[in-house]
Amino acid sequence: MVGLDGSDLLRWSNGEWLGEPPVKSIKGFAYDTRLLKEGDLFVAFETHQRDGHDFLADAQAKGAIGAIVQKNMEFSRRFPLLCVNDTLKAYLAIAQGFRETWNFPVVAITGSCGKTTTKELLCQLLGGFPAAQGTRGNLNNLIGVPSTLLGINSNECRFAVIEAGISERGEMKALVDTINPDRVIFTAIGASHLEGLGSVEGVAREKGILASKARSKTVYLGETCRLYREYLNAEEGIFVLESESSVGSSGWNYQIEKVGSGMRLNFGNRDESYFVEGTGRGLASNVALAIVVSRSLGVSPESVQERLEEWKPSGMRGEWIEVGKSRVYLDCYNANPLSMLDSLNNFKTSAEPAENRLYVIGSMEELGSESEEWHKRIGYELCLRPRDRAYLIGEGADWVLEGIQVSERSRGHVEKLESLETLKLILAEFEGDVFLKGSRKYRLEKVMEYLPKITVDERTSC
C-alpha cells in the first residue's frame, strides 16, 4: 500500500480524529493484533465473536500508529483514534477512496465456484506481481475486499484483480461500491450460500449487482451463466463457452483437446490455441475466461502462452496426486452442488477405466431449505460401478445415501462415516483412483495420510 495520512482517512471515512492524527504515514491496516506490524493502523471491528475495542492497548503495545473506533472513548497515551459511526462502513469507504486514486484497470470476479483459480491465472497472464495484484488468499468478503484494496501498491500495479464473495443479500452492493470495477467476470452460477440468498435465481440476482454497477459494463460469462443472463444484468455480456454454442460476434468458443498430462484449448472462432500443462477439463472454463480477459486487456497470444507455461493451479482444486500405488483427485478446498457435480464428472472422465475407484464425499454447507434436495441429487448422479466404493460423511450423508438408493444406478458399496479415521484400515489395502470432495470443515485432504506410500525398495523394483 502507498502510504496514506490522517487527512486522507478523515476525508474518506467522514469521521473525527480524537486528538492529533498520526504524524507518520500509515503503512498498512490490521484488525487482528496477532498479525499487526509496526506502523499499521488498527481497525477495531465489533462482531458477535469479539469486540476489537478490547484490544486497543495490545495494538498500541505492538506498534500500531493509531486505530479506527466506533466508540467515543478516552484512550489517550498519545494513541490517535479515528472515531466513526460504523467501523466496517468506514473501512469500506477508506478502501473505496484509495481505489479512486488509481488509473489502471480493475477487474472484479464473482461466481459460485472458480473465483480463486480464475483470479490467480488472470494475474499470471497479466504479468504477475507486481504488475498484476489481486485478492490475497480468499479475502473476498466485506472485510477481505477492503483489506485487499488497501494492500495494493498502486505505484507498481498495472492491473488489479479482485474477488467479490457474498453469502447474504445486500453484501454485493457494498462490495461493488468499494471495488468500482472496470470489468466483471462471472465464473459460474449455481446453488451456493442458499441460506442467505434463497435460491439459485437469488444467487444470480445478488451477484448481478456487480455488473449493473460496473464502470464500462464489460462483462464476461462462463458456461453455466447462460440461464441466468437476465438476472446477471449481462444482456450485452461476452460469453466464453465450450463447443460450438452461439456466442455472438463478441463471444469466444473453445474446444478441449487432451494432450499428455495437460490440455489444449482451441478457440475456433478466433483462430487461437493454447496449451496448459498439468490440468484438465475441471479447470477449463476458468482457464478460458482468464485467457479471454487477458487478451481483451492487450496481452499478446505469445505472452499468454509463455505465462501459461509458468502457471500452476493452487492446491486442492481439482488436481491429481500420486500417492503410493493410488492416484488421488483432490478437490476438497470447498464444495457446493455445482462444483460437486462438475468434480464428479471430471473425475469419472479422467480416471483410469480399469482401476478401482473409491469416493470420499463430504456434505455441502449453507444450502438452507434446499440442502436435502441437493444432497439427494449428488447421490442420484453418483452411479457407482460394481467394484466402486463410496464413503459419506457429514450432516447430508443420509440424503446422499437416499439419492443413491432411489437412482438404482449404483452397484458399488456405500457406507456412512462418523469419522475419517474409519478409513485408515480400508485405505491401507486400497490401490486405484480416489475422489475427495466436500466442504472445507471436513478437511478431506487428511485422507491422503491413510494411503500407503511406496517404499524405497518398491520404487527400485518398479
Task: Render each residue's pLDDT in the chain as its tens digit; 462 residues.
Answer: 668 999 999 999 999 998 889 988 999 999 999 999 999 999 999 988 899 999 999 999 999 999 999 976 666 557 899 999 999 999 999 999 999 999 999 999 999 999 999 999 999 999 999 999 999 888 999 999 999 999 999 999 999 999 999 999 999 999 999 999 999 999 999 999 999 999 999 999 999 999 998 887 799 999 999 999 999 988 789 999 997 766 777 899 999 998 988 999 999 889 999 999 988 888 999 999 999 999 999 999 999 999 999 998 888 888 899 999 999 999 999 999 999 999 999 999 889 999 999 999 999 999 999 999 999 999 999 999 999 999 999 999 999 999 999 998 899 999 999 999 999 999 999 999 999 999 999 999 999 999 998 543 443 333
Say if domain 102-308 classifies as CATH 3.20.20.480.
Answer: no
The pLDDT assigned to 453 comes to 81
Q: What does the alpha-carbon distance between residue 452 and residue 423 come to, in Å, rounded to a whole number?
A: 12
Same fold, 6-87 and 102-308: no
Helix (H, G, I), strand (E, B) or coil at 274: strand
DSSP string, 112-148: SS-HHHHHHHHHHHTT-TTTEEE--TT--STTHHHHH
Q: Please tell me the class of the 6-87 domain.
A: alpha beta
Of the chain, the end-to-end C-alpha distance in Å amounts to 53
The pLDDT assigned to 77 comes to 59
**At the fourth CATH level, which superfamily is domain 319-457?**
Mur ligase, C-terminal domain (3.90.190.20)
Long-range pairs for 399-404 at CB < 8 Å and ≥24 separation? 399/371, 399/372, 399/375, 400/361, 400/363, 400/375, 400/376, 402/376, 403/375, 403/376, 403/377, 403/378, 403/379, 404/379, 404/380
392 and 401 in contact (C-beta within 8 Å)? yes
Helix (H, G, I), strand (E, B) or coil at 444: helix
The grid coordinates of residue 269 equal 472462432
Place of cell 464473482: 110
Helix (H, G, I), strand (E, B) or coil at 281: helix
Domain spans of the chain?
6-87, 102-308, 319-457
Separate counts of helices (H) and strands (E) for the chain: 15, 20
pTM: 0.90
98 and 153 in contact (C-beta within 8 Å)? no
Nearest residue to 181 via CA among 144, 145, 235, 228? 145
The torsion defined by the Cα of 339, 340, 344 and 346, in degrees rounded to 10, comes to 10
Q: What does the alpha-carbon distance between residue 111 and residue 386 come to, in Å, rounded to a whole number?
A: 36
Nearest residue to 363 via CA among 420, 461, 440, 269? 440
Contacts of residue 117, defined as CB under 8 A and 6 or more positions apart, other chains included, come to: 283, 286, 313, 314, 317
Q: Quick one: DSSP state of residue 15?
A: -
Sign of CA dihedral 61, 62, 63, 69: negative
Q: Quick one: DSSP state of residue 298?
A: T
User: CA dist 106 to 95, 185, 275, 343, 443, Å?
Assistant: 14, 11, 27, 30, 34
Contacts of residue 20, defined as CB under 8 A and 6 or more positions apart, other chains included, come to: 80
